[in-house]
Amino acid sequence: MNSTHAENAAQFLADEPRANWHDETLWIVRQKRDKAAANIPEWERLRQQASAIKDEVLANLDVYLEQFEAAAIKNGATVFWAADAAEFNQIMLNIIRRHKAKNIVKSKSMLTEECGLNRFLQSQGVEVVDTDLGERIIQFRHEAPSHIVLPAIHLKRQEIGETFHEKLGTEAGNSDPTYLTRAARKHLREKFLAAEIAITGVNFAVAETGSVVVCTNEGNADMGVQSAPVQIHCMGLEKILPRQTDLGVFTRLLARNATGQAVTSYTSHYMQPKPEGAMYIVIVDNGRSARLANPKYIQSLKCIRCGGCMNTCPVYRRSGGHSYGYVIPGPIGSILAPHTHHYPDLPFASSLCGSCSNVCPVKIEIHEQLYHWRQDLMQHRQTSWLKRMAMKATGIALSGNRRYNTLGAVARWAVAHLPRKLLYLPVNTWGVGRELPQAPQQSFKAWYKTNNPSKKQTS
Amino acid sequence: MKQYRIGLFIPCYIDMFYPQVGIATLELLQKLGQEVVYPDKQTCCGQPLANSGAEKEAIATYKHFVAQFRGFDYIVTPSGSCAYHVRHHFDILEQTDDVRQVRENTFELCEFLTDILQVEDLKIKFPHRVGLHQSCHGLRGLKLASASELIEQRYSKLRRLLEKAEGIELIELDRPDECCGFGGTFSIFEPDVSVKMGRDRIADHERHHAEYITSYDMSCLMHMEGIIRRQGKAIKVIHVAEILNRNSL
């Protein structure tokens, strides 16, 4: 997508009733989260603890990764390391070819989205069926997820009914959720039963045990892994937790913060291959170690992909996940995206209200990170020339009393005297839906000079 | 009540467009027996630049600010956002004694009244239905109130100052602290989302029959007022200093 977030958002907002529905739907999720969090009196301490564990992991990642690898191998798994998306995709293709597999199912994994795995495998003649219901819906529609936990949240059930009618032969015009879910279940059951390889994402990888933990609400990761002889777990290298006992901190936070559930319906621990089966774990870097080496932005690697920042973000709710153009939308996506080359407008797609930082279960200061990215993008000339010049000029104007006073006088004069047509030219984007402030008789400074109330002071 | 020597910091847009807010702040502090000095060469805290990514371009403005405001017991401003910026984002300056003192001693008006002067009852009469807009930087940055996301004891310095006013009815909102969408230059670089956020915020106040929306930040109110006037709505905005200054002290 080449258009900017602002342009995409304007398009999203053109259908206001739909935008309102999107906002309301996600606000309900936020409210559920508030309720679930409030049921844990030690919630804020839990966040602090999770944040500290993640800090410890990032500070010793090399050690924990090797510990994890050794334990996983001892358990009977095969571990691969991928430096980037291309290597990851190739490793996946090689495994699939080695097992001569035709029927492949995959549960939700943002990492595979990030690496474009489906697209790559398709180009090699390999079809992968996404088994998360939301993912399957958008796969049918050839769309990207608009949310990392609720990938089809941008769709209304009527649209899903139409898609299922076309792809699964459900009754035309029937969008009853139970009816549609049953149709999906029947369709996916066939896929599970035929599966030769099951691919999953990884929520947590425990260094001391070598096990991977996958959290789902639909049990689709288990359905795949239990029926296919071969299982592949794909993880970003930051998914490590040191100890089994750390898990409880995160499983308590994850579902509550994501959807307001006390715990995900399924929390599955995979440790070793099935008899006659094979278990692969693919650990992916794809820019993470570079981020790890950058102390200013390292904290974005603490993210556990709960999506809480999206649900609370007033901008996300009113612009939709697709408006960001990056695989992970919303506040966290805007600090995870590789800005220096792409997506230079994303750090500006925020009012810096800070709600994201307050809900973040691992206490990433998301809005402060956005603020810092803005500085870097400006310094690296990734913003428009016009904007940079305007900022330079404003900087000069605001740093001196006389220049500043002149600026104020001109602004007041313009608002008071310029014809409306001129004041509200399209270049004045303030005027899109707002009136400019009315010009007072004089500035506070001028009032103070003439009235100088310090003379009347009691002191 | 203790008396302090206060440097009055009037943010740029208040100086330029809302002098009545500056006047109310000044008068209120004087009525409370404070020695208030307005350094008349002051300009701006530099936030409009820094929030746009031009922190480097703002340094000269930061330095000018520190030069104007050094040496006061406190620097008080009718803006949570500007106070937050000075306290939090002047960290890129060399931390001289002046810079440190200016940062530490800069207070938003409401928190200065509740935390430093420990004002309990200002004896105000304001017989209206009022909605509180807890602007984000004051709320989450300065912690002027408990934010709805955090699981903590509920409080609000703004509410505490207003709830004793005679005749006032403070309304409850469906979304107690959602951002209004001003966001500094966000309002002009993302105008559509910004305006939509503002419209939704105003609608929440209207649903609960507020006559006034009040806040410790005129910038949010300027944005909402712009929408209210464009749409010809009846609801009004008023800076909290203008309410608090209607006291009978």
Q: How far apart are CA B227 and CA B204, in angstroms?
A: 14
Q: Is residue A104 situated within a structural domain? A: yes
Task: List A282's β-bridge partners, or say none.
Answer: A80, A234
Distance CA A302, CA A55 (A): 7
Specify if A324 maps to a domain.
Answer: yes
On whether both B89 and B154 belong to a single domain, the answer is no
Residues B239 and B135 in one domain: yes
Cβ burial A238-272 (10 Å sphere, 16+ → b, else e): bbbbbeeebbebbbbbbbbbbbbeeebebbbebbe
Which chain B residue has its CA at the smallest distance from A37's CA?
B151
Identify whether residues A262 and A342 lie together within a single domain.
Answer: no
Q: What is the mean pLDDT of residues B59-85?
A: 98
| Min Cα–Cα distance to chain B from A201, Å | 29
Domain boundary among A383, A405, A425: A383
Residue B124 lies in a domain: no
- In this structure, are A17 and A165 located in the same domain? no
pLDDT of residue B183: 97
Q: Which residues pair with A234 in a beta bridge?
A: A282
A388 contacts in B (CB within 8 Å)?
A: 54
Q: Choose one of B92, B116, B140: the last residue of a domain.
A: B116
Q: Which of A110, A15, A453 is CA-nearest to residue B36?
A: A453
Any B CB within 8 A of A423 CB: no
A44 contacts in chain B (CB < 8 Å): 150-152
Percent of chain B's residues with pLDDT above 90: 97
Same-domain pairing of B84 and B143:
no
Q: Do A392 and B57 touch (CB under 8 A)?
A: yes
Taking the C-alpha atoms of residue A279 and residue A451, their distance in angstroms, rounded to an integer, is 81
Question: Residue A295 domain-assigned?
Answer: no
SS3 B110: helix
Residues 7-66 of A with CB under 8 A from B: 9-10, 13, 16, 19, 23, 27, 34, 37-38, 40-41, 43-44
Pick from B196, B224, B188, B190: nearest CA to A318: B196
- The structure tokens listed for A329 are 């939308």
Q: Which of A26, A46, A334, A353 is the best residue to mutate to test the B interface, defined by the most B CB atoms within 10 Å of its own CB?
A: A353
Pick the residue from chain B with its C-alpha nearest to A16: B196
The answer on A284 and A401 residing in a single domain is no
Query: Do A349 and A248 lie in a common domain?
Result: no
CA distance A398 to chain B (A): 6
Q: What's the total number of domains in chain B?
A: 2
**Which amino acid makes up residue A319?**
S
A269 interfaces chain B, CB cutoff of 8 Å = no
Chain B residues lying within 8 Å of A395, measured CB to CB: 49, 54, 57-58, 60-61
For testing contact with chain A, the best of B12, B16, B82, B175 (most A CBs within 10 A): B16
Distances (CA, A) of B86 to A153, A392, B36, B44: 40, 20, 19, 10
Q: Is the separation of the CB atoms in B141 and B222 below 8 Å?
A: no
CATH code of residue A164:
3.40.50.10420
Residues A23 and A46 both lie in one domain: no
Q: A211 and A139, same structural domain?
A: yes
Residue A274 phi/psi, 5-degree rounding, is -70, 160
Q: Are strands A211-216 and A266-270 parallel, antiparallel or unpaired?
A: antiparallel
Among candidate residues B116, B139, B163, the one where a domain is terminated:
B116
Whether A386 and B188 have beta carbons less than 8 Å apart is answered as no
Round the average pLDDT of chain A to a whole number and report it: 95
Q: Which residues of chain A have pLDDT under 70?
A: 1-2, 339-341, 453-459
Q: Which of B230, B226, B219, B174 is nearest to B201 (CA)?
A: B174
Q: In chain B, whose CA is at the least distance from the CA of A358?
A: B149
B143 token code pair: 């912690």
Of B110, B111, B90, nearest in space to B100 by CA: B90
B106 shares its domain with B174: no
* Distance from the Cα of residue A270 to its chain's centroid: 25
Q: How far is CA B222 from CA A334, A435, B17, B218, B245, in A?
A: 28, 9, 9, 6, 20
Domain range for A90: 40-290
Instruction: Give the Cα separation of A23 and A102 in Å (integer).
Output: 41
Answer yes or no: is B66 within a domain.
Answer: yes
Cβ contact B235:B207 at 8 Å: no
Q: Is some CB atom of chain B closer than 8 A to the CB atom of A437?
A: yes
* Pairwise CA distance, residues A109 & A334, whole Å: 19
Pairing relation of β-strands A204-206 and A211-216? antiparallel
Mean pLDDT along residues B69-98 = 98
Nearest CB to B19; choose among A396, A433, A447: A447
Q: pLDDT tens, B14-67?
A: 999 999 999 999 999 999 999 999 999 999 999 999 999 999 999 999 999 999
Question: How far is the alpha carbon of A376 from chain B, nearest alpha carbon, in Å?
Answer: 7
Give the whole-number percent of chain A exceeding pLDDT 90. Answer: 93
Q: Are residues B240 and B157 part of one domain? A: yes
Residues of B in contact with A433 (CB under 8 A): 191-192, 195, 198-199, 226-227, 230
- Tell me if B166 is assigned to some domain: yes
Q: Are A187 and A131 in contact (CB under 8 A)?
A: no
Interchain CB contact of A426 with B (< 8 Å) = no
Domain presence at residue B123: no
Does the CB of A359 have a partner CB in chain B at under 8 Å?
yes
pLDDT of residue A458: 42
Query: End of a domain among A258, A290, A322?
Result: A290
Instruction: Establish if B122 belongs to a structural domain.
Output: no
Encoded amino acid at A317, one letter: R
- Clarify whether residues B156 and B106 are in a common domain: no
The verdict on A284 and A155 lying in the same domain is: yes
Residues A235 and A363 in one domain: no
Report how many Cβ contacts below 8 Å link chain A to chain B. Answer: 235
**Per-residue confidence at B248, pLDDT binned at 50, 70, 90?**
low
Q: Do residues A85 and A138 share a domain?
A: yes
- Nearest Cβ partner for A399 among B43, B140, B225: B43
Q: Are residues B60 and B81 in the same domain?
A: yes
DSSP labels, B227-247 = HHHHTT-S-EEEEHHHHHTSB
**B235 and B190 part of one domain:** yes
Q: How many domains are there within chain A?
A: 3
Relative orientation angle of helices A157-168 and A177-194, to the nearest 10 degrees: 40
pLDDT digits (tens, 9 = 90+) for B148-187: 999 999 999 999 999 999 999 999 999 999 999 999 999 9
Distances (CA, A) of B113 to A23, B79, B119: 37, 13, 6
Q: Is residue A457 part of a domain?
A: no
Of the residues B94, B116, B138, which one is the last residue of a structural domain? B116
Q: Is the same domain home to A52 and A181?
A: yes
Rounded Cα–Cα distance for residues A280 and A456 (Å): 81
Query: Are both B135 and B112 inside the same structural domain?
Result: no
* CA A352 – CA B58 distance, rounded (Å): 18
Residues A343 and A389 in one domain: no
In whole angstroms, give the CA distance from residue A292 to residue B228.
47
Looking from the CA of A260 toward its CB, the CA atoms found within 13 Å total 14
- Cα A391 from Cα A394, distance rounded (Å): 5
pLDDT of the residue at A455: 55
Could you say which of B35, B89, B182 has the minimum Cβ distance to residue A457? Answer: B35
Between chains, do A375 and B20 touch, taking CB under 8 Å as contact?
A: no
Question: Residue A458 domain-assigned?
Answer: no
Token duo for residue B217: 């930040």
Residues of A in contact with B53 (CB under 8 A): 347-348, 374-379, 383, 391
Q: Does A442 touch chain B (CB under 8 A)?
A: yes
Q: In whole angstroms, give the CA distance from residue B234 to residue B206.
A: 9
Q: Are A316 and A149 in contact (CB under 8 A)?
A: no
* A residues 151-180 lying closer than 8 A (beta carbon) to B: none
For residue B187, what is the domain's CATH number?
3.40.50
The answer as to whether B197 is a domain residue is: yes
CB burial of residue A386 (10 Å; 0-12, 13-18, 19+):
exposed
Structural domain ending residue among the three candidates A337, A358, A383 = A383
Instruction: Write out pLDDT tens, residues B180-220.
Output: 999 999 999 999 999 999 999 999 999 999 999 999 999 99
Which of A308, A202, A215 is CA-nearest to residue A265? A215
Residue type, A84: D
| Same domain for A51 and A22 | no
Asked, for residue B249, whether it belongs to a domain, the answer is no
**Interface pTM, i.e. ipTM:** 0.97
CA gap A377, A364 in Å, rounded:
20
Residue B22: closest C-alpha in chain A? A444
Residue A298 lies in a domain: no
Q: Are residues B237 and B182 in the same domain?
A: yes
> Whole domain around residue B211: which residue ranges?
129-244
pLDDT, tens digit (0-9, with 9 covering 90-100), for A40-74 = 999 999 999 999 999 999 999 999 999 999 999 99
**Which of A150, A133, A140 shows the shortest CA–CA distance to A118?**
A140
B167 and B237 inside one domain:
yes
pLDDT band, residue B249 (cuts 50/70/90): low
What would the two tokens of residue B149 be? Answer: 């996301």
Predicted pLDDT at A453: 58
The pair of structure tokens assigned to A194 is 């035929």
Which residues neighbour B115 within 8 Å (Cβ) at sequence distance 6 or greater? B107, B157
For A387, the 3-state DSSP assignment is: helix
Assigned domain for A21 exists? yes
